[in-house]
Structures are given as C-alpha cells and as structure tokens.
Structure 1
C-alpha cells in the first residue's frame, strides 16, 4: 500500500495520476470531497496531521508514503511518529531547493531544513525531493492575462530554474514504487532545463497566445500588500526574503539530477505553457486596461499553489 498526501495539490495530484494502476493506493485528505479525478481503485480517507488517530488509520498497512506539509508547524514530526508506529518503510518527502542556499535564513527555509533533518534522523528510509519554483505558479497570472493582457510580478528580470510539476511527480513515483531502488537516503535537487525570468515567460506566453502581453513590475511594497491578504506577517517577510535571494541570482542554477533520473531532458516552460494555454486565453477580446488589479507575485508557501523555492 502506498499513501499519498497533498492529493489536491500541485504535485500530489500528479503523483496519484502517474502511479501504476495495479498498485494499492490510499489518499489522505482533510476533505475527501475535494479529491477529484483519482482512479476508482484508490481509497480516500479523511485525516489531519493534528489528529494522531486519523494518521494511524491512514498509515495502517502502508509500506511507502508521499509526504507534503505546508503549514509551518510540527506536522512532519506528527507524521513521523505515526509512520514509525505503523511500520512504514519509506517516506518520500517534498522539500524545496532553497534549503541548499547557505545564506538563506528566512522562516520558511529554516522550517524546511528542520524537516529534512527530522527525516534524516528518523530511522526510516527517506527520499528528499527539492524542486525549484513550480512552473505552475505562473497560473497566478492567468486572471490579469485574460482580462488585461498583463503580467504583474516581483523582480521580473530575476531568473529561476523553475521546474514542471509533472517532472517532479515522475521522480516521486519512481522513488515510491519498485523503480525506486537506490532512491532511499538521497536528497534530489530538481530544476528545469534553464533559468528563466518572468519577463521572458511573459514573452513566451504572448508568442503562444498570439496576442501582445505587457509585463508590469510589482514593487516590494505592493507585493507585501498583496501577500498580506493571504499570509501572516512572518510568512510574508519570508516570502519577500526568498524573492530577494532570487533577485541576487541564487535560484538560477540548473541541476542535472532530473534528466539523469528520467533519462530525458527536463520539460521547458514553453512546453508547460503550451499544455496549459487555455488558462491564459482571454474570455473576451479585445481586452481593456481599465479596472486592473494586482496579481500575486510568483512566491508562495502552500504546495497547492506552488513550490516557494
């Protein structure tokens, strides 16, 4: 039995989709009704990291688990205690590439590092997945692209070696299944094939859509205001610190791990964008610049939206 957490999120959803049909799969969700598009053979159970009994029920009979946590809390420790008691052998943990930046000391990075250390000392087999920013984070631009023909983001000229979530999910599946021999005890940095800026992403979207798009720089002050609508102050501070590290060039390095594992190149942003182009298509054209509203910068903490690395 394989347990999947985060099945309503960016990576977990893809992991469920890619798992071989013959495998026994159980999905842990706070709200099982929110889990859609999963195979009929998959079992979905209600549970929460803060509820030890629900974790024990979900982990009963599980040999490998895919773990996603996105609250800055003790969810990893709670899951570990239950996993040990249930006899789980292998945990594939979604982390972030930012943990490798020795000068990054923001709240989120410190929390992620602490979680990694927890699993390293857990006594279980573990695999750490460290993706860069998910290409799917650009879906946060879709509303302003459709309505106003504009992308608004923070530090548009700074590059990130962002990664297609499908590629990360494919690595996770290999680590979880019989193809995962040799994955235990490894921390895998997963990037896209090239560093790319928000300005260049805007250009590529415009080319694919066949319509002009403009890029509008979202300054730090406005970005803070937008993020404060969703996150507490300490998390907002951390997200802006991480964006500053990207501006300084700390997230642009391309890692060769992913293509070596998958035996093919990592997918490019253009390939990802072509697959999701319908999300950016204008519902009414021509568009008007009136009534614009700011778009969230591509820095997030919740895995549902994307990786904050």
Structure 2
C-alpha cells in the first residue's frame, strides 16, 4: 500500500486520486475532514509529522510514501524519513523543486529543500525526488484582482517560466511510486513552453471572454505584498526567485512528463480552461 501526505494540496490531492483509481491508498492528514479524495479503497487517517505515534500508525503495512513538506522551521522530512526507515518502508518519493539542481539558486527555500533532500538520502530508504518548476495553479492568486477590476498584478510580467500543471507533476510522482527503476533518480518536471505572466493574462482574457489588463508591480510593492503573507526569509526567497526568472533561469523545458507518462505535458491554456471558473464567481466570493 502507498501512503500519501499533502493530500489537501494541488499535487498530493491528484496523487491520491490517481492511486485510488488503481487500488488501495492511505492518506495521512492533520485535518481529515479537508480530504476530498474518498472511496472504498481510500483509508484516511488522522495524524501529523510532529506526532510520532500517529506517523507510526499511518506507516504500518506501507510500501511507499509520497512525501510533501512545507514548514520552513519544522524538521518534517527527518521525522518522516526516520519513521519510514523504522517501519520498513521501501521507497520515499519526495516532492521537491527544480531550483535545487541549479547552482545559481541560493535563496532560503532552495537551501531548505536541498537540506531536506539530503535528509531523505541519509535515511537509508530508497528515494526518488520529483522536482517541479513553478505551478500553473499559482496564478489562482490573481483571481480576486481579475474578478474585482479585471487586473492581473505581478512582478516582472515579461519574464518567462516553463510552469507546469500540478496534475502532470502528480502523474510523474505516481509513475515513480508504482513503477520500477526510479530509486535514486531525481526528475525535473516542467510544462511544454516558457510563458510570461503577460502572456498568461492574454490567454486568460480570451478564455474568460473579457478584457484583462496586466499591471507590473515594482519590487518594493511586491515585497510589501509578500511580507503581508509570509515570514521575511520566505518573502525574500520569492523575490530572489523572481530575479532568477527575469534572467531566464526558469525558461528551460524538460521532457519528463512525456517520458514517464507517455503523453505530453499540458500547456497553460489547457490548465486555465479547466480552471476558468475559479477566475470568476469564486474570486468575487472572497
């Protein structure tokens, strides 16, 4: 059986859904009521990384784990790895980020993920790292501005990024979890094209059938907005990442999705069409 963590997030939820179609899957959730993947083959258990007893219970009879961690302060990867090793788990598939393999990336979040990957390596449990580029779903943060005044506000709107559909990231993770020969491999995952926020705005305008305007934020305004939502090290990491994107560091396309799933990665237009409703009434309701 496979254990999925992070099943209330964009990638973990899709991993759980795909696995549930094929057979039994267990989901570890701090708040089980928020898990939307349900069914006779889905076992949802309450627990969290900081509660070793609940983690041990969730890992009983588990062969592989999809690992999602996001705390900038808690040693959650170490907790999962230690418990997995003790339980005899045979494979850890960790959601990481593509920046860890890029020498010029040295922001707080990238350093943290590099350390987390090393923790997984040191556990002795066979591992696979899934390293996606920026998620297309990050553009959902534009929904409120689109609904209220038809404006997308972002930093460096002309800088390209080979953003990826979270569903494609999940498909790669499931291939690693259920296939053979993936141990000790790290997979960078991108979309099929490099696209800028300005171009994404134009595509959303076409899909929604309404004019949208792009408004570029200054670095100071972007910093102010980020600091209102995140701790300073995290906010500064996002700003450093944006500078790397402006320099072209995130424009490279890699063929991992097609290589591991047998189909091409979805372009932004497809993702946006599938989620167009979130840029309408859902945004106005906030």
Alignment match, 1:88: 89
RMSD of aligned residue pairs (Cα, Å): 1.6
Residue 12 (structure 2) pairs with residue 12 (structure 1): yes
Q: CA deviation at 1:157?
A: 0.8
Alignment of 1:153-164 (within 5 A): 153-164=154-165
Q: Distance in 1 between matches of 2:281 and 2:50?
A: 42
Q: Per the alignment, do residues 280 and 81 of structure 1 end up closer, same or farther by CA in structure 2, a change over 3 Å counting?
A: same
Q: Secondary structure at the match of 2:271?
A: helix
Q: Hey, which bits of structure 1, 4+ residues long, moved more than 4 A?
A: none
Residue 253 (structure 2) pairs with residue 220 (structure 1): no
Alignment of 1:1-309 (within 5 A): 1-72=1-72, 73-177=74-178, 180-281=179-280
Q: Distance in 1 between matches of 2:267 and 2:22?
A: 31
Counterpart contact for 1:11–1:168, Cα < 8 Å: yes
TM-score normalised per structure 2: 0.95
- Which of 229-238 and 270-279 deviates more? 229-238
Q: Deviations over 1:234-290 (max 9, x none)?
A: 111111111111111111111122211122211000011111111113689xx9xxx
Q: Secondary structure at the match of 1:128?
A: strand
- Which of 256-265 and 69-78 deviates more? 256-265
Q: Distance in 1 between matches of 2:195 and 2:16?
A: 29
- The number of residues matched between the two structures is 283
Q: Distance in 1 between matches of 2:279 and 2:20?
A: 31
Q: Which runs of 5+ in 1 are unaligned?
A: 288-309
Query: Which structure shows the bigger proportion of residues in helix conformation?
Result: 2
Q: Distance in 1 between matches of 2:116 and 2:282?
A: 43
Q: Deviations over 1:83-109 (max 9, x none)?
A: 011110001100000112201111100
Q: Which runs of 5+ in 2 are unaligned?
A: none
Q: CA deviation at 1:176?
A: 1.3
- Relative contact order (alpha carbons < 8 A, sep ≥ 6): 1 or 2 greater? 1
Counterpart contact for 2:175–2:261, Cα < 8 Å: no
Q: Secondary structure at the match of 1:19?
A: helix
Q: Distance in 1 between matches of 2:62 and 2:70?
A: 22
Q: Distance in 2 between matches of 1:242 and 1:66?
A: 26
Counterpart contact for 1:66–1:176, Cα < 8 Å: yes
Counterpart contact for 2:20–2:42, Cα < 8 Å: no
- Which of 247-256 and 118-127 deviates more? 118-127
Q: Secondary structure at the match of 1:92?
A: strand
Q: Deviations over 1:112-166 (max 9, x none)?
A: 0111122223221111000000101111111111121111111101111000111
Q: Distance in 2 between matches of 1:202 and 1:212?
A: 9
TM-score normalised per structure 1: 0.88
